[in-house]
Amino acid sequence: MINELYHSAKLALAQGRALEAEELLRQFLALQPEHGTAHHLLGKLLADRKDLDKALEHQIKSCKLHSQLGWNWFAAAELLRDAGRLQSALNCFHMATQALPQEKWIVDLAGDVKSQLLLGGESLQKGLGDVGYQYWIANHEPALPAQSSTPLRYRWWLLKPGSPLTLINEDAAHSHNQPDNLTPYPVDGWLLLIGAGTGLRLGAVRALEEWLDLFGPRDLPELIYADEDQLDASGQRCRPWFKPGWSSESFWSTPWLEHFSVWQVPWLCSKGLPLPPDDPIGRWRWILAALALQPAGGHLARLLTHTRIQLPDAKLDQRRAVELLRHLQDQDEPIVSVQPCLDHGFRLSWAVPPTPDCTAIIPTRDRADLLELCLNSLESTANLRRIVVVDNNSRQPETAALLLGWRQRLGDRLIVLRDQRPFNWSRMNNAAAMLTRSELLLFINNDVAATAPGWFDAMAAQCLRSAIGCVGALLVYPDGTLQHAGMVLGMYGSAGHAYRHLSPEHSVHRGRSRYLTNWGAVTGACMMVRRELFELVAGFDEKLPVEFNDVDFCLRLAEQGFRHLVVPEAVLLHRESQSRNATDSTTAAAALELMKERWPLRLTNSGPWWPEACSLKWPDGRPLEFDDYR
């Protein structure tokens, strides 16, 4: 009788009859209170219906009664972690790993809890927070060079708002002594241009000199910038900005030279540039004028300055936006507006024709539910000339009925291309592109759907710019977190998605994914490109049937001098890999080998798009020194 109760409870649980299973387990435990596995199962059911305190009681009792089960320790660990009892959770995770040594992924969860313990409850996988940053400063930040009696090798000229041009040594720069020398205009050395409220860190100038030693005399940069952070009202360091290498659109949308920049004086003299004026708009105008002369830039990936947090100045930001718009129009960019945003960033808009000539291409295999969402969203939010659906071996009648209905609905605007061969994303997209002569091609997977209008025009406007190669979108998971905000070459030893699983409102790298941003590649799940460029590099490589075909395509266009970017106004929902099981791929290993052979340098170099100071093992933007933290 007792055993029958237990087996009936397990059967009800397996069949999804949770309330019946719970009642049967209670009856069984009333008769057999020392049964550890039954307590574990009841605890799971209670956790599912959010009775967390009772669930934890049963899991702890199960652990005491049946310490080798393992899953009871794991369940208890999760409950303790979610309750904020991190040390107890860590102890339970360790017990789970000992009982379940084959479940290697539990070690990762234990590592995350250990990191949270060190970082005051913060998880690095949700982005570097204030406590994590203070911990990094105290325990991991690379030290700047110590003060030395050895003279500086270069002449360093300091120019701050409201102060005369000063020839400094490092001690004078930080002790606020009278300047060593004054001059109306330097003729050699380096000009340190410092913004209002910004101060150099002790050792910053010597760090610059050490870094310049890495260059040959003829290879010295003409412009240098560095990473920075801010000081809050109490003077505590916060909000680090680990910057990427130079990339035009990233700079235009989130300028990073106004607080601190270093200019080679002989270069300034050769270009006839005067000293920058004191007022902020005059300085901004001077920086833009200097950039128009295309200095050779360099990025020192060290935090060299602190800037006090200042209240936003809407009028000043609007004037900065006007100057940037004028500058870009002088560069023959067909830009129509620049609007200030948070953090002194800008929202930039380019012109788009009223009826862009674009064809969307959608590979699909069954999953009529996903395809219908995709087609509905395209019809309601995108101004498309036609849609090509590449049907790869669909067998379900729902798919045939859906395509027939859309063919009747769209007429000649819908083309259905049948491909009965084994799945090859590259081949299917290449074949579909040959069926149309549209100026723009939009490659979009069947598990991607738009949620609001505006995305298509924003992507098309960028795609029509002569310097731009591939244009990508922000793709979000159904839970609202980021799936794709750009691809980082070199991440995981190949390529990875920047800021994956972070909230779209994250503050990492000054919330970079909310701004127009350059990347080494964008995902083919939603990619727009001009036909002329698609034909220039002969489309996607069919030797890459599933993985890395988008990355390879972007790299071949980059070789031709084109930049890729992600448009923040284009936000689409991505139910990733729901039409195929990505974890069972039989093509991934061969694809990676081909890519490593073809792009040995690109797949080991994340620059200039990803900050040099940040990890390539994690997509959350953490500093390198947190590589081994879970």
pLDDT reported for residue 180 = 45
Of all residues in the chain, the percent with pLDDT exceeding 90 is 81
Query: pTM above the 0.85 mark?
Result: yes
Q: What's the mean pLDDT in 206-214?
A: 95
pLDDT reported for residue 3 = 78
Q: What's the mean pLDDT in 54-68?
A: 93
Q: What's the mean pLDDT in 20-46?
A: 90
Binning pLDDT at 50, 70 and 90, where does residue 184 land? low
More confident: 561 or 607: 561
Q: What's the mean pLDDT in 472-487?
A: 97
Q: What's the mean pLDDT in 246-271?
A: 96
pLDDT reported for residue 170 = 59
| C-alpha–C-alpha distance, residues 540 and 544, integer Å | 8
Q: What's the mean pLDDT in 86-91?
A: 92
Q: What's the mean pLDDT in 467-496?
A: 96
| C-alpha–C-alpha distance, residues 36 and 188, integer Å | 79
More confident: 31 or 182: 31
To the nearest whole number, what is the mean pLDDT of the chain?
92
**360-384: per-residue pLDDT in tens?**
999 999 999 999 999 999 999 999 9
Q: What's the mean pLDDT in 202-229?
A: 95
Domains (range + CATH), the chain: 2-118 (1.25.40.10), 156-336 (no CATH), 358-486+521-599 (3.90.550.10)
Task: Report whether 166 contacts 182 (CB < 8 A).
Answer: yes
Cα 44 to Cα 24, 80, 576: the distances in Å are 14, 14, 28
Bridge partner list, 144 = none
Binning pLDDT at 50, 70 and 90, where does residue 108 land? confident
pLDDT reported for residue 172 = 45
Nearest to 340 by CA among 309, 364, 319, 361: 319
**pLDDT at residue 2 tops 80:** no
pLDDT reported for residue 183 = 52
pLDDT reported for residue 275 = 93
**pLDDT at residue 255 tops 50:** yes
Exposed/middle/buried for residue 56 (C-beta within 10 Å: 0-12, 13-18, 19+): buried
Q: Residue 111: left if φ>0, alpha if ψ -120 to 50, beta else—which one? A: alpha
Which DSSP letter does residue 300 get? Answer: E
Of all residues in the chain, the percent with pLDDT exceeding 70 is 96
| C-alpha–C-alpha distance, residues 419 and 438, integer Å | 22
**552-603: per-residue pLDDT in tens?**
999 999 999 999 999 999 999 999 765 444 456 789 999 999 999 999 999 9
Q: What's the mean pLDDT in 293-315?
A: 95
Helices (H), strands (E): how many in the chain?
21, 23
Residues 6+ apart with CB under 8 A from 75: 40, 43, 44, 47, 55, 59
Binning pLDDT at 50, 70 and 90, where does residue 182 land? very low
Angle at 602 between CA 599 and CA 604, to 5 degrees: 110
Q: What does the block give as tokens for 338?
A: 């620049």
CA 390, distance to chain mean position in Å, is 30
Place of tokens 């149309």: 436
Task: Report whether 579 contacts 446 (CB < 8 A).
Answer: yes
